[in-house]
């Protein structure tokens, strides 16, 4: 059995035992409005940011060899089918082409298991906070700090794989480490920004992330989505919590 199927079955098992108050009601018209809004903003955003995207792409090519776009298989929830599905998550490449991917896998495993990597176990580390990571290029540090590396995810939004607002999309190896209580955060289309990113961008434990994401899922509305998008702006401008 492959890793994607294992992740799906893990979610199914959690859904089978969750109690009635935890069930997320289908809100058809909300999803229609959300999808329409996503398409409009993503399309306009790609047009508006196209000059910046060209400059970033040129800087990446000049700075280091390798592809311009980094893609990674991640898991996302589809409200149409009610299942987890894999998709190729897109970002501007910020690391050297031959960077060891196992470093982040070990980092995520340590974070989920409550060890912040410094010998303590308070579980309050930062996801992806490898700020002194030698795998990151010079241009990579700039586009991470300014979140410009995230712009290609607008393509994921157009494809319907992501939304503008939702829980952070996770790699399969992260789902494999989840405890049953963490599975609830997977019951929404993943987003470029979200409640956890705005409230604790890059900070806190996996339980903090789950709590904020589940609260968002339980109270989803266009008003809440717009509020989160608005609160994302100052965090983006300041670079607060960016890797």
What tens digit of pLDDT does each residue of 162-206 get?
Answer: 999 999 998 988 888 888 888 888 889 999 999 988 887 667 788
pLDDT score for 235: 73
Contacts of 58 (CB under 8 A, 6+ apart): none
Please tell me whether residue 51 adopts helix, strand or coil conformation. helix
pLDDT score for 5: 61
Residue numbers of the chain with a pLDDT score lower than 70: 1-26, 115-132, 201-202, 238-243
Residue range 76-87, pLDDT digits in tens: 888 777 788 899
Task: Calculate helix-pair angle for 222-238, 28-63, nearest 10 degrees.
Answer: 20
pLDDT score for 104: 78
Alpha-carbon gap, residue 205 to 111, rounded angstroms: 7
Alpha-carbon gap, residue 188 to 181, rounded angstroms: 15
Contacts of 209 (CB under 8 A, 6+ apart): 127, 168, 185, 196, 200
Query: Which residue is it, tokens 């190729």?
Result: 88
Query: Which residue is it, tokens 């398409």?
Result: 39
pLDDT score for 133: 75
pLDDT score for 27: 75
């Amino acid at each position: 059995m492959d890793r994607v199927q294992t992740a799906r079955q893990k979610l199914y098992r959690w859904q089978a035992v969750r109690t009635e108050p935890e069930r997320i009601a289908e809100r058809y018209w909300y999803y229609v409005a959300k999808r329409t809004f996503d398409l409009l903003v993503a399309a306009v955003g790609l047009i508006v940011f196209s000059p910046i995207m060209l400059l970033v792409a040129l800087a990446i090519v000049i700075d280091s060899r390798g592809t311009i776009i980094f893609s990674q298989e991640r898991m996302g929830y589809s409200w149409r089918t009610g299942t987890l599905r894999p998709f190729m998550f897109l970002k501007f490449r910020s690391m050297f082409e031959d960077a060891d991917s196992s470093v982040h896998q070990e980092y995520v495993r340590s974070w989920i298991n409550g060890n912040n990597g410094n010998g303590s176990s308070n579980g309050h580390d930062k996801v992806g906070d490898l700020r002194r990571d030698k795998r990151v290029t010079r241009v990579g540090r700039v586009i991470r700090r300014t979140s410009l590396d995230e712009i290609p995810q607008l393509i994921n939004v157009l494809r319907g794989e992501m939304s503008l607002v939702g829980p952070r999309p996770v790699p399969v190896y992260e789902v494999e480490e989840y405890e049953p209580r963490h599975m609830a955060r997977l019951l929404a289309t993943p987003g470029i920004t979200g409640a956890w990113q705005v409230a604790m961008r890059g900070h806190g434990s996996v339980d903090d992330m789950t709590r904020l994401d589940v609260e968002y899922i339980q109270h989803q509305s266009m008003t809440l989505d717009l509020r989160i998008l608005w609160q994302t702006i100052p965090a983006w401008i300041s670079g607060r919590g960016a890797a």
